[in-house]
Structure 1
Amino acid sequence: MVQERLAELLKKKGIGPEGSKSLIAEELNELKNLFKSPDVSLTTVATMVTALLTLEPNNHEREWIEKVKAAPSEFLPNEIVPFFSGDTRDDFYKLILKVIKHEDLSQEEAESGIEQLFNIQTPEYLKGAFLESQRLKRETFIENKAFFSGLWNKAERVKTDLPVIVDIADSYDGFNRTSNFSLFTAALLASLDIPCIVHSIDKVAPKEGYTSHQLLKLAGKNPLISVFQAQQALENKSIGFCYLDQQIFFNDLFLLKRMRKEMVKRPFLATFEKLLQPIQSTQGNYLVSGYTHPHYKEEVVKQLKEQGECKMALIFKGLEGSTQLTLSRGSTAIFYDGNEINESLVSPEDFGLPLLESKQDKSIKPEDVLSEGIAALKGNKNYAREAIIYQAAVIITKFNLVQHKDLIAVLKEKLDSGEALNRWNLLNI
């Protein structure tokens, strides 16, 4: 229970510069016992301390911080004392203390930081503190460039001569209040001979929502095929799409799952892990992703442009920050055509589709999402069908992948004929 209580307080305090709430005196008084408890994760302690030192304190917090500075060993485990004393010879620790002071890192320092995240000798509590300090300070473009590059270089990746790959890059921590049909959209795109890749993980913090991995497992399919097997499926004209799991193509990042749960906060890892193109066209992928916070609307696409590894990119203000577009109104779309970045609105009405109320359900179950998605592939005229057709139509139109005077009719025919279902049935078996 003590771990849960500390995590609860961290969720309150460590949200971020804009959404953070201050702790009251009674909550601060709890911290001494929580920090010293053997049943509490050092990662959670370090992350809470980082939040308290990085974010602007209220009067109660300022008084508490001064008390701890005067006698840190009375309040903190020995490993955490240097956060207040500054007494450490560890270079990674020094980087964290620098960021806590709102000092930006050089590219070289940021590259050193990303290396430490994957150093098995580095304590996880320092990894959590580094990620938290960066997110609360707000990563600079230079820092993010180094972080993105560091992750890119460590992930396994294969190249294919396929001239087009649509890469659907949803957040790996999943969904807990909306239906996500990206796997079924991928099957529909494949039925038009547009190769498509979806990638994710079984479950990861902070949301720990359902993912494409879970949907595949529920469908009796294997979400843990090799990179080579996924490439074969993608290049197979009878299938034309694939799912690839982080555990397979980036196991070192997968192994940080526990640390990410115990730090509670969403780190920059979540921003970039979905952009790593584990199967990449030699010409660069057509990457589709989403965002939630306005800052990352521009940051993500500018990083992709700077990196130069995708052919084009489409970033949506989708449901739960995903590529899944709402059917109830227009959505912001940021389009990178390989040269320029432009912002526009997309709407179901652009394609002659009706506006429908978007489903928001905190009790949503992946079994229901799977059932509805498969029903749509079978020609059932349900909500999933409209969502899949709309998402596919926007992707095809923005990337100019299919030339047809009645694209919606073509998409409907691919569902009604069972061709998209045939692709689904052959996936990851």
Structure 2
Amino acid sequence: MSTHEVTHLETGEKVTRQAILINPYYKAEGQPASQHHIDPEVEDFHRQLPAYGETQLHSLPSIATELGFAHVFLKDESSRFGLPSFKILGASWAIHRVLCRRLELSSSTTLDSVKQALASRKESDPTASVRLVTCSEGNWGRAVARMAKYYEIPATIYVPGFMNEYTRNLIRGEGSNIDLRVLDGSYDDTIAAVQHEAETDSSALMVMDTSWPGYEEIPGWVTEGYSTLMAEVDRQVVDHTKGQQLPVVAVASVGVGSWAHSVVSHYRITANNKVITVEPVAAPSFKESLHCGEITPIKTGDTIMNGMNCGTTSTIAWPVLRDGTFAAVTVNDLESHDCVYELRHDYVGVNAGPCGAATLVALRKLCADRGDVSSEDRKNMVVVLFSTEGRREYTLPAGA
């Protein structure tokens, strides 16, 4: 089994880890269904957004045959409301809730009514303007920028220096109201900059998809926003399997953890379901926290899987992921790139970027290197690979 080296941020300690960790804290029993209720208000809100529509669930029959599963599906998030990523689901709902709270409106208020209230507020009192502030490695920032354009309010978005100019320009292209600020340093450094801005400017509304002590409500709304995607998958799987109720193996990428938090929460209704997480070897912050038994910030490196290049796991995601993740897997850039190429050429219409293709790498690794999901069990299981981004520009890894 392949290995990778991890450096702890606070102590500088270097450790070598294997690519697969069967979670020692995993609680096999399912959780009460009442804890995972999907609020229809979230999906009702998303239906108001321009270009609303369900994204495609692709069937991958040759991979199902290769690995011995009943079905393997890939949820393709390459075109969500006209953006190449699922992130706008969480960003839109969280921003809606933040603005409703600032305007003292109910969360059931329509998008157009919130927009009108913002305009009226600005007209009556120009000093009462609001501005969205966040940080991003790409897709999250673009989603926040898109929502700022919808509501006709400004947004300030901090990005780390390793973000390429192509991605920066995609964010800038969302509108003239976007102030993009590039910082030398890591993603964690941009978090600190956003925190400082929110503390020193009353007009700044901090909207983040990661949490820390004292900042948990808004990231919780982000996770709620992703429930629309989970509801779609449930309907689509039932349709594809003609109503069969089979256990699900869900494979989800992990950055700060808000997306994986939604996936684990959803599938933990039954103990027969299993969730596998995947991270790049350059930033396995959640997997390392599992090794250590607590949130453990790490130093991150360069990776084509930019959306997962995060050094610290969100505090509200951590206990859910710790208890509900079956296995944590790391993949390298070449492995991810090879799967991007495979999916592009072997399956018509599948559009997966590096973070999305990494889920297939992780599934294959677990099936090849571990017997924890036995071949007999696989015959009656459905796999859902969550491809969280479409293809995009990146520097080819060595060996490609």
> What band does the TM-score fall into relative to the shorter chain?
under 0.3
Greater strand content: 2
Higher relative contact order (CA 8 A, sep 6+): 2
So what's the TM-score if we normalise by structure 1? 0.26
Greater helix content: 1
Q: Which has more radius of gyration?
A: 1
So what's the TM-score if we normalise by structure 2? 0.27
